[in-house]
Amino acid sequence: MKIAVIGSGTWGMALARLLSDNGHSVKVWSAIESEIKELREKRTHKNLPGIVFDEDILFEDDLELAMKDAEICVLSVPSIFTRSTAKRMAAFYKEGQIIVNVAKGIEESTLKILTDQILDEINNAVVSVLSGPSHAEEVVRQLPTTCVAGADDIETAKLIQSAFMSPVFRVYTSTDMLGIELGSSLKNVIALAAGISDGLGYGDNAKAALITRGIVEISRLGTAMGANIETFYGLSGIGDLIVTCASKHSRNRKAGMLMGQGRTMDEAMKEVEMVVEGVYSAKAAKALADKYNICMPIVNEVNAVLFDNKDPKQAVDALMLRDKISESIGM
């Protein structure tokens, strides 16, 4: 197949390599000319050391040329740029092209998931999503990874499954795009809390509690919004949450850890040097919780640390000293 990867960040480049290895014709586009220049000349990416990209992968700074004749467009820009990039793509979109969103986030101003933002800008688009526990640093090195492909039409999900599946990259299918996107976005907020806990020097017990109670918060909101609860106990839910809360590759965990050690939000984001999606999703998560009247104490405390300068230790204390309740609803 002919595939365009829109965005030359670490995740886009890892997927470009995977798709090229699968035998597809791949073009990568970026709005950052210096990145395209380095990729063309050196076949390397500054944030993926030791990886040399195959000559078969082409690099474009012209979006029209990148999308021309592509059967699949993999949209892999940071979530805060999803809408603006989709707007640019609209002029060159051809009927039937499948747009696969691989970013993770919720728009703060509209509370919309990313595929809905894409549809706002490209009304007739065929949109889908690919998500799961999948750090670019491991995928690009061909370490075993599993994801889920979601689309309203199961046949579209199966087509994406076939395009991406390899001996080291297993793909499942789903028609619950809402659940996939909510799980993949909200887990970044919980991962900030896990990082804060690590930064404070708390142990594995605290981390396990945050992961466990975090998926409860995510699934309660998701099901209230109409998603399938099984999705949150799958790859894009608990799977992605575990890896993002625990991995050394996780930007959200690292940013949280720095804040737990005393950095401000701005200082932590600057030190991470890449987009920390959880910071941009946190306010949207709280707004959704308020809209649907869902209790999300971890999300609330993360927001307080990020935007109200609450002391991280006080935020943890607030979680620990909440009113006594039963773990199971109805008990």
SS (H, E, C) 25-57: EEEEECCCHHHHHHHHHHCCCCCCCCCCCCCCC
Token pair recorded at residue 7: 């965005």
- Cα 146 versus chain centre, distance: 14
Residue 96, pLDDT score: 95
For 93, 195, 263, 328, the CA distances from 269, given in Å and listed in that order, are 34, 13, 9, 36
Cα–Cα distance between 194 and 208 in angstroms, integer? 9
Q: Which of 80, 161, 88, 105 is nearest to 128 (CA)?
A: 161
Write down the pLDDT at residue 185. 94
- Whether 187 is a known active-site residue: answer yes
Structure tokens at 171: 């793909």
Q: How many CB atoms lie within 10 A of CB 310?
A: 15
Q: Quick one: pLDDT at residue 329? A: 64
Smallest CA-to-CA distance from 207 within 189, 193, 187 is with: 193
Distance CA 254, CA 274 (A): 11
Q: Exactly one of 27, 187, 207, 254 is catalytic; which is it?
A: 187
In tens, the pLDDT along 56-79 reads: 999 999 999 999 999 999 999 999
Q: pTM for this one?
A: 0.93
**For the purposes of burial, counting CB atoms within 10 Å of the CB of 218, is it exposed (0-12), middle (13-18) or buried (19 or more)?**
buried
3-class DSSP state of 131? strand
Q: For residues 254 and 197, is the Cβ–Cβ distance under 8 A? A: no
Q: Confidence band (pLDDT; 50, 70, 90) for 330?
A: very low
**Mean pLDDT (whole number) for 269-274:** 82
Burial class (CB in 10 A: 0-12, 13-18, 19+), 169: buried
pLDDT digits (tens, 9 = 90+) for 291-322: 999 999 999 999 999 999 999 999 888 887 77
- Residue-wise pLDDT tens digits, 223-268: 999 999 999 999 999 999 999 999 888 888 999 999 999 998 888 8
Q: What are residue 300's DSSP bridge partners?
A: none
pLDDT of res. 18: 98
Of how many residues is the chain composed?
Answer: 331
The rounded distance, in Å, linking the Cα atoms of 245 and 114 is: 22
Report the C-alpha gap between 258 and 271 in whole angstroms.
9
pLDDT score of 186:
95
For residue 29, the cross-strand partners are 6, 60
Average pLDDT of the chain to the nearest whole number: 93
Distance of alpha carbon 246 from alpha carbon 198, whole angstroms: 10
**pLDDT band for position 331 (50/70/90)?**
very low
Identify the three-state secondary structure at position 123. Answer: coil
Question: What number is the average pLDDT over the span 138-149?
Answer: 97
Q: What is the mean pLDDT of residues 179-196?
A: 94
Q: What is the dihedral of CA 74, 79, 83, 88, to 10 degrees?
A: -50
**Residue 101 and residue 71 in contact, taking contact as beta carbons nearer than 8 Å:** no
Q: Which of 79, 30, 130, 53 is nearest to 282 (CA)?
A: 79
pLDDT of residue 53: 97
Report the b/e string of 72-110 with b at 16+ CB within 10 A.
bbbbbbbbbbbbebbebbeebbeeebbbbbbbbbbbbee
Q: Taking a C-beta distance cutoff of 8 angstroms, is the pair 173, 231 a contact?
A: no
Say how many C-beta atoms besides its own lie within 10 A of residue 241's C-beta: 26
